Every structure is written in C-alpha cells, then in structure tokens.
Structure 1
Amino acid sequence: MRLLVAVLGATLGGYLALSHEVLWVRIYGFTVEGAPDAFGFLLAAYLAGLAGGSLLAGRYCRSTAVERSGQLYRVGGVIFAGALAAFLVAPVVAHLVGRGVEPASTLPVFALASTCLGAGFPLLCHFGIRADELAGARLSYVYVGNIVGSTLGSLVTGLVLLDVLPLRELNVALAIAGAAIGAMLMLSASTTARSRVFSGAILVAAIASFVGSAPTLYGDLYEKLLYGEEHREHGRFAHVIERREGVVTVSRSGTVYGGGSYEGITNVSPLPEKDENRVLRAYLVSAFHPQPRDILMIGLGSGSWLQVLANDPDVERLTVVEINPGFVEAARRAPVVASALDNPKVELLIDDGRRYLGRTSRRFDVIVENTIVYWRSYASMLLSREMMDLSRRHLKLGGALYYNTTMSTAAQKTGATVFPNALRYQNMLIASDGPITIDHARFERKLDAWRIDGRPVLPAGSSAAQLDLLKEQDWRGGPTWEGRESILLRTQDDPIITDDNMATEWWAFGTYP
C-alpha cells in the first residue's frame, strides 16, 4: 500500500512539476522577449532547485527516524508548500521586474520554488520503499510513475490546457491540485481528529486564498513583465490573448507584442507623421514589382501589411502563413485591419512558414517576411541561407523575396549573397534573381488611387508625388537605399547565417547593429 501511494504521489508530483516548468518557461521567455538562451537559463534554475530540494530531503531522511505515518505527513506538507510556492512564482517575478530588477536576477525565484518540488520525490521514496533486497525494483516503479507524470504534464498542460485556460486560471488550478494532494496525504497520515481537522482546514484556506488573491496578484502580470518600471505609465493592455503557441498582447494604442517583443502597430497610413510602424514599406511592393498578382506573406504581425497588400488592385491572391492563431484573433479585434481577414483574396493558414514552403509546389511573385527580430529564438529558421534558397525556388520569373532584416548586417549579407540582385530599403531587403527597379511613377500613381475600406490612404488634395514618400534618408538619418555591392562591402566581416551556425541567435549580439 505504501509503495502504491509513493508511485501515485510521484506520478501526480511529476505532472505538477513539469506543468509548472512549462508555465515558468513562458513567463521568463516573455520577460526577455524570447531570447534564445531563455530556456537554458530557466532550465538551469529549475534543475538547481530540484537538486537542492533532493539534497535537503536526503539529509533529512538520513538524520531523522520517524514512523511511517509521520513521514507521509511530512511528504504532504512539502507538496502543499510546493503548491503555494509555485503559485507565487509568476506574481513575485512580475513584481520584481516591475520594480526594475533585471530578468536574470529573478532566476533564484524559480529555483526556490522548484526546491520545494524537488524535495517531494525523495521523501516519497523514503516513505514507500522498504530497505530490503527489493528496494531497487520498488524505486524503479516510483521513477516510472514520475516519468509518466512528467510526460503528461508537458503534453497535457503544454499542448492542451494552455489553449483552454489563461495563465492565471491554470496556475490556480495547478495550485489547488497540488494543495489537495498534499492535504490528502496529510489527512491520511493523521492519527488524531485534531490533525485531520487541521489538514482539511488548511486545504479550504488554501483554495480560498488561491481563488481570492489571483485577480490581484495576476491582474497586471504581463504589463509588469513587458514594461518593467514603466508599467503604470503604459496602463493595462487592451487585449491579452494566450494560446499554446504564445502570448499576444495589444496596448490601448494598438501596439502589438508577441511573446513580449514588439510586432507592430495597427496602422495603414503611409504618411510620415502617422506611420509609426513604417507601413510605407508594405506599399513599396508596388514600386519594385510591376504586377504582384500572387503574394505569400509569412507572419501576420499586427495585420497592417495584410490590409495594405490585400487592397492592392493588382493582387489577386494573398496567402498568409501565421504560426500563432493569437495574432489572427488580435487582428480580428482591430477595426483598422479586421476587414482584411474576410477579403476574398486572402487565404489564411495556421502553419510554420518554412514548413509550408517545404511542402507546397506553388510559386509566388513576391514572398514577404516581416516577421521577427533577428536575435529571437528561431530567427535563423527565417533568415538562414537555407531559408533563402528555399524561398528562391518558390519565386516566379522576376519574383522577389522581401524581408525584414531588423538592421542585422548578417541577415543583409546572407540575402545579398544568395541572390544575384539585392537592394536595401530602410531595414527591408529586396532580393531577386532578376534586376530590381524602383518605379517611382508607378508607385505614386498607385498610391494616389489606393483605397482601404473604401477610404483613400492619402488625404484629400494631396498626391504621392508632392509628399515625396520615398526619400533618400531613413528614419535614423542614414541612407534609405543601398545596393548589393555596397551591402557586401559593408558586411564583409560578418558571417552568413546558416541553419548550423544560427548566427543571429548565438553569436555576439553586438556584432549586428
């Protein structure tokens, strides 16, 4: 019976421990804007805490002789404490970041909470396994239970529950489950009515505190994690959309963030005084391609580029591949861009952009990637030489790849190396097998006639020629345009990004201004 309790306890404990790790990876990754080393640092803190908890529990087991019921009571108490500690991790980290503490300095919080989780397993083994010739076999059973629970925690919480419950409710549910397991073990080990009443009372109190305190503790969690000390000035988000693929937040001014990193602003005006997200770059497609009938856009972002391109009269088909449906929901809630989702030209696919290109046989006039900052996790999958070659094979004769380098010199060099023709406009690179010509007259003519939701994009009485939107200097005062030869000369000391070197993610960040 004791062995069965130990196996069941290890299974449930493994489920809760890995579920918490999944949530903690999300919290820490959001705080550091999806930095590639986020998972490694969090995992190190998590494992350090588990090791510390196991060490403390091992010393306790060797130094204390307690009857079996007392051991089980202590196991329940440790599991109960672990539930409370895990519940407090997210709000404590958010509080620290909101007070100006660097994200890396919050890692001890995760380690401390996992210390409580790590102490439960050796205590269960000490309770459930007799010190005889079958101890090894019994230990393997407990380990199997823990492995099964850990696997289920990753799969069920990571792939199912994160699509059903937001972070706050999921943390409350896990905390209640952990507290209930701990209290039940304490209750079953209680030998007096007084201890049984106490075990039941603390469970009721814990549930009430988890449910009652969650709205306050988690109310502005993502605001603190994103804005830090400035969270009060920015105010609460208009929308927080949580999916298993990630967290999309939208400020009240329409700024969209994915996983804690800037994605864009819902705005379609090309006018300099209104073009905070520089959406003029989307209109530029009409300048370098005479008839972009079939466009592939990898990444939805704020939806602004989709709205602009879907209303280009030359575009007949616009395929959008977005990996996170949360961005679709955010665009649906934004009046400026929502109509684009129902445009008959638009085909919206929830998929990985690179995987889609690897599977489809279609070719496109223009492939647009306005998707990710170069230093985030998995950026190499979109910026590598292999991705450039794949995109190149899916371009029609005279087609162009048009992608955001976010001023990474390595990303610019990679595209200019793979393609025989390249032209940089601000932070975007136009790359093609054919010559690239910027037709100012066509651009101005089309912009004058461009309408979105029945309204002209330029104010009445003005023309694109008068506004001179394609200026020679960018928003930083540097040259707006740069040719391939100049790019290769300027970036001669930079690496070419490959799937193997993952240069923008793991090389020194300072190399890429």
Structure 2
Amino acid sequence: MHHHCRNIFCLLWSDYFFMDSSFLQLSYWLFSLFIYTKPLKFYCMRFITFLLLSSATGFLALAQEIIWVRIMMYYTGGGPEVFAYVLGSYLTGIAIGSWWTRKLCSQKIGSILISRMLFLSCIVFYLSIGLISYFHTLFTGPIIYILVILVTVFSGTIFPLLAHFGIKTEQVGQRLSWIYLTNIIGATVGTGITGFYLMENYSITQIIVFVFTAGLILSLFVSLFSQGSKQLLGYIVITGLIFIFVQQWHNTIFANFLEKVHYKKDYVLKGNYKFSNENRSGIIATHYNKEIGCDVIYGGGVYDSCFNVNPDGPNGINRVYAIVKLHPSPKKVLVIGLSSGSWVRALTYSNLFEKIDVVEINHGYLDLIKHYSEQSKIFKDSRVTIHIDDGRRWLNRNKDKYDFILMNTTFHWRSYITNLVSSDFLKIIKLHLEPGGIVYYNTTGSEDIVYTAATIFKHVVKFSSFVAASDRSFTVDPVISKSFASTFLNGDKPVLNGTKAIKNILSNPLPDIREQILSRYDLIEITDDNMAVEYKHKVKHYFNPEMSWEKMFKRLF
C-alpha cells in the first residue's frame, strides 16, 4: 500500500508555524520588538530563563500531541477524524488548564508551581499511555480521548503560569509576545524533530520514554531555581525513584504495545507480530493468519496484503493477473505501492514486461520483504526499479510514460486516500499513460471512486473490486489474452495456465460501465478539495444536521 502517514507531521508543522505565526507575523514581531526593546532591561537572566522554558514546554507539548496522533491513527487504522479529535481534545485540555491557572496564580509560589505542573503533566502522560497498554481491553475508544484531555489539563497550565510569573514589568504586551513567540518556535522544532527524526529512528515506546524523561529533567531544572535545599533534595529523590521504576518496568508495561493497540480485545487470540518496522512514514507489521494460512502484512494497523503469489490464493491476487484481459501487450508498467511485494513478483513472472517501476513511500516494506524468499526475488530482477518517494511527487518530477499503471490502493475510508483516487491525481496519471494506456486500481467497494474515474477517462470497466480506466476500449482478443497468460512462468512451471483464476479472468465479459455510472446522481466526484471518499456526507446546505456538534459527540461517545 502507498501511505501518506508522514503528512500528519507536515500538517502539525504548518499548523504551528505557518498558521499560528506566519512569516509576516514573525517578521513584524522581530522588527517591532527589537526596535522598542531596551536591551539592558530585556535580556535579564530571569526573563531569558522563562523564554527558554516557554520554548521547551512548546517542544514537549507538540511532541506529546504527535505521539497521541500516531497512537490513535494506529488504533483506528488511519481514521480521517483522528487528527480533529486529538486536536479538539488538546484544545479542551488547554482551555480547562488555563481556567484552572487563574486559581493557581493566587498561591503566589511562582516557579515552584511551574515545576510541579511540568512534573505532573509528564507523570500523567506516561501513566495514561501505560494504562492503554497494560489494560488494553478497558482503555479504548472515547476513553483514550478523555485521557488526552486529562494530560493536557496539566500541560495547559504551564504557558499561563510562565506568562504570569515571568513578566515583572510594565511592558506586559511586549514580554508576553516574546514568551508566545518562543513557545511557537519550540512547538515548531518539537514537531520537526519528533515527526521527522525521532519517528524515523526510534519506536513509539522509546519516544514516549524520551519525551517523559525530557519533561522530568526540565521540571527538575526549574526546581533548582525555586525550592529550598530540603525540598530540592526530596524532589531529586522522588525523580530518581521514578527513573528507576521506569527503567525496571517500562518493558513490562509496554510489552507488545502495537499489537494491543491494533488487535484490542482480540490480542490474546491473535498474539504477537512476526516482524514489524516503525518509521516516520508509518508502522508496518506482519503476522501469520491461521484462518487463511498466510503471513498477512498490515500498514498503519490495517490489512495491506498477504505474502502469496498463487493466482488462486487468499489475497485476491488474481486481480493483478487480470492484466492479460485488459491490455494486449504492456511493455512498461508502473506500480504505485509495494506492500508485500507479491503483486510485483507476480508481474515479474512474465517476460513480456520490459520495465517495471515501483514507487513506495515507506522504505520499511523493503526490510520486511527481505524475510520472504519468493517476494525478495524482485530485488534481483533487473527490470524492477524501486523508488522510495511519494507517488504524486514522483510523477510530477518524472516524464516517463507507461502502458499500464497499477495501484492496489488502501481502503477508501482512510486518511489521505484522496491523494490516490481524486480526479486531480487521475489527471496526473493520465499524463503518464502511453496512447491506449490503462490505470488499474482498487476501489475497495467505493463507487465514488469508479464515478471519479469515469469523469476523467472515456472507458471504464470493473474486475472484482478494481476499476480499469482508459481512453481506448477494453477489447482484447481472447487468443491474445491466452497467449499473454502463457508467458507467466516460474522457471518452467506455468503460473496462470490451469488455474481457476485464469478461467475466471478469461470468462469475465468486462462491460464498459462509464455511461451507467455517470448517470447516477448519488455519487460524487472525488477531488483534492472535497475529500469525498474520506468524508462521505455532502454538505448541501449552509447548516447540515449531520455535521453538527451534537452528532459529533454522539459518534465520539
């Protein structure tokens, strides 16, 4: 499958940098603040310390948010509503924390209070995710969002406290701007480092420990400037005991964390993953499925494929072999989405193909494929070239044209699937097709995807869950199809001939359904803007009851 999980990091990055502090705002602030600031009064050590704290807390807050998004994306299998729900929970927690701060400020204990809130926010953050892992059958669904709110209540108090106790001057607006600016800078850096570095090189449970440890160290640092020797000693002892506890029990608490989040109540029945890989593009894993007798590969907590090349196998791979019925003699093929490598391996059985380009955004698939001898043969085939890149970006950068473009796209309800099935993307695909070329991809049951293909191409047919679209008619001579099928050989052994799959493929009439599908008024053309396949309800009026807050909370709880 071709995933766009890293887009969530880009979204968070842009949300906290380009929206909250655009380049124009940033330039204006820097110019006005430097012009009107008195350097000797401004750069006092105390205020600089508060600025650094503001930046560090922004870093930690956004790092925690990315962790929550990653967990909930995996929990839901990539539900498009996850980002909105996590962000909404975060803002709710911040609002409650800010309201609570009004009462806290009356205690007049300054930096000690900031240190305590940092300490509590880190503890609650770690324990919340620990509860989800250890008691995975209890802490599910909406309860997790409640935990997100709970964590953010504590971290939501920190910024107001910094502003309240850090500004001891009449220049309130100016100083507050600096505190806000450094907080945004920290949040931006936190998003970048967590999303693009930590996620690429460490597992989610390791990143949780890193963020938790960083928060405790920051809390300890603040306490050095605000507590008496006895209090400080007690604080250091407590922090040390917590570190010892985490070191001793972390692996037990977070054992098989991904499997628990993925399988939920079925974890005991399903068991552990066979292989897994985590990086900034997503989480992929393999697991032996007893029911179908095949190693299944999951991308982002959702079924991708299974390691099988048998045309009559359980993974519906007969759909790729249907190429013999769709195109008389494709020489150049582009595959967007590698997944288990089974579909690419199936194509390599035929010597008719001269060039097979594969575009896959997640390099982790290559590592998993190496564990499977049959699929790993694609790495030794000189005709196969694998490009680690985003499909759309790669197409925009290359001018090559193909006879056949294949996409075994993921489920239509998942986040970012619009990038592969929208009319905007199909127009890009069309530019890369040779005359008579075909694009062939999985609709996963969405007729809106078929409708969208019909708006771009002159001819549309369906085979199983796949749609094939082209500007030429699908009229391949049966004799040519049979001849094409005979070219699929594994050594000297026929791969297709004599199978149930080829009989089904050759007997399938493949009627052109373009006019029929375009005549329907209940379907929507999917575009990059409307993301209709992810958000199904079409907004027909200014206020749509289906999109109301009441409906949202009913779906949530």
* TM-score normalised according to structure 2 size: 0.82
In 1, the alpha carbon distance for the partners of 2:462 and 2:513 equals: 8
User: Match for residue 267 of structure 1?
Assistant: 308
Given candidates 185, 197, 206, the residue that maps to 1:160 is 197
1:319-468 alignment runs, 5 A limit:
319-448=357-486, 450-452=488-490, 454=491, 456=493, 458=495, 463-464=498-499, 468=503
1:180-195 alignment runs, 5 A limit:
180-192=217-229, 194-195=230-231
Question: Which structure 2 residue ranges, 5 or more long, are not aligned?
Answer: 1-44, 290-294, 539-557
SS at match of 1:483: coil
User: Match for residue 476 of structure 1?
Assistant: none
Q: CA 1:100 to 1:176, structure 2 compared with 1: closer, same or farther past 3 Å? A: closer
Q: Which amino acid aligns with 1:20?
A: Q
**Aligned-pair distance for 1:15?**
0.7
In 2, the alpha carbon distance for the partners of 1:390 and 1:180 equals: 50
Q: Verify the 8 A CA contact 2:311 2:501 in the aligned structure 1.
A: no
1:294-313 alignment runs, 5 A limit:
294-313=332-351
In 2, the alpha carbon distance for the partners of 1:311 and 1:466 equals: 16
Percent identity, please. Answer: 29
SS at match of 1:252: strand
Q: CA 1:325 to 1:137, structure 2 compared with 1: closer, same or farther past 3 Å? A: same
1:230-241 alignment runs, 5 A limit:
230-241=266-277
| Aligned: 1:177 with 2:214 | yes
Residue-by-residue CA offset, 1:280-326 (whole Å, 9 max, x unaligned): 11111123212211001111122111111122211111111111212
In 2, the alpha carbon distance for the partners of 1:436 and 1:9 equals: 65
In 2, the alpha carbon distance for the partners of 1:326 and 1:466 equals: 31
User: Match for residue 276 of structure 1?
Assistant: 314
| Aligned: 1:56 with 2:100 | yes
Residue-by-residue CA offset, 1:133-161 (whole Å, 9 max, x unaligned): 12332222222221111111011111111
Q: CA 1:137 to 1:417, structure 2 compared with 1: closer, same or farther past 3 Å? A: closer
Q: Which has the higher contact order (CA 8 A, sep 6+)?
A: 2
SS at match of 2:505: coil
In 2, the alpha carbon distance for the partners of 1:9 and 1:347 equals: 48
**Aligned-pair distance for 1:441?**
4.5
In 1, the alpha carbon distance for the partners of 2:305 and 2:271 equals: 18
Q: Verify the 8 A CA contact 1:319 1:349 in the aligned structure 2.
A: yes
Q: Which amino acid aligns with 1:163?
A: E
Q: Verify the 8 A CA contact 1:449 1:456 in the aligned structure 2.
A: no
Q: Which range moved further: 52-61 or 492-501?
A: 492-501
Q: Verify the 8 A CA contact 1:172 1:211 in the aligned structure 2.
A: no
Given candidates 263, 266, 281, the residue that maps to 1:245 is 281
Residue-by-residue CA offset, 1:33-85 (whole Å, 9 max, x unaligned): 11212101110001111221122122210x32x3xxx4222211211111122
Q: Which amino acid aligns with 1:16?
A: L
Residue-by-residue CA offset, 1:176-227 (whole Å, 9 max, x unaligned): 11111112222332213x3222121122112222232221222222112211
In 2, the alpha carbon distance for the partners of 1:465 and 1:146 equals: 63
Q: Verify the 8 A CA contact 1:13 1:149 in the aligned structure 2.
A: yes
Residue-by-residue CA offset, 1:112-145 (whole Å, 9 max, x unaligned): 1111111122222333221x41233222222222
| Aligned: 1:499 with 2:528 | yes
Q: CA 1:296 to 1:246, structure 2 compared with 1: closer, same or farther past 3 Å? A: same
User: Match for residue 92 of structure 1?
Assistant: 131
| Aligned: 1:73 with 2:112 | yes
In 1, the alpha carbon distance for the partners of 2:252 and 2:500 equals: 54
Q: Which range moved further: 255-264 or 332-341?
A: 332-341
Q: Verify the 8 A CA contact 2:199 2:278 in the aligned structure 1.
A: yes
Given candidates 59, 67, 81, the residue that maps to 1:15 is 59
User: Match for residue 47 of structure 1?
Assistant: 91
User: Match for residue 258 of structure 2?
Assistant: 222
Q: Which amino acid aligns with 1:286?
A: V
How many residues are aligned here? Answer: 489
**Aligned-pair distance for 1:457?**
5.9
User: Match for residue 139 of structure 1?
Assistant: 176
Q: Which amino acid aligns with 2:498?
A: S
Q: Which amino acid aligns with 1:184?
A: F
Q: Which amino acid aligns with 1:505?
A: E
Q: Which amino acid aligns with 2:384?
A: V
Q: Verify the 8 A CA contact 1:375 1:504 in the aligned structure 2.
A: yes
SS at match of 1:506: coil
In 2, the alpha carbon distance for the partners of 1:450 and 1:24 equals: 46
SS at match of 1:189: coil
Given candidates 74, 82, 86, the residue that maps to 1:38 is 82
In 2, the alpha carbon distance for the partners of 1:443 and 1:106 equals: 53
**Aligned-pair distance for 1:458?**
4.4
Superposition RMSD in Å: 2.3
Q: Verify the 8 A CA contact 1:445 1:464 in the aligned structure 2.
A: no
| Aligned: 1:316 with 2:354 | yes
* TM-score normalised according to structure 1 size: 0.89
User: Match for residue 292 of structure 1?
Assistant: 330
Q: CA 1:100 to 1:488, structure 2 compared with 1: closer, same or farther past 3 Å? A: farther
Q: Which amino acid aligns with 1:91?
A: G
In 2, the alpha carbon distance for the partners of 1:497 and 1:466 equals: 32
Q: CA 1:148 to 1:465, structure 2 compared with 1: closer, same or farther past 3 Å? A: closer
In 2, the alpha carbon distance for the partners of 1:28 and 1:503 equals: 22
Q: Verify the 8 A CA contact 1:405 1:429 in the aligned structure 2.
A: yes
In 2, the alpha carbon distance for the partners of 1:49 and 1:361 equals: 49
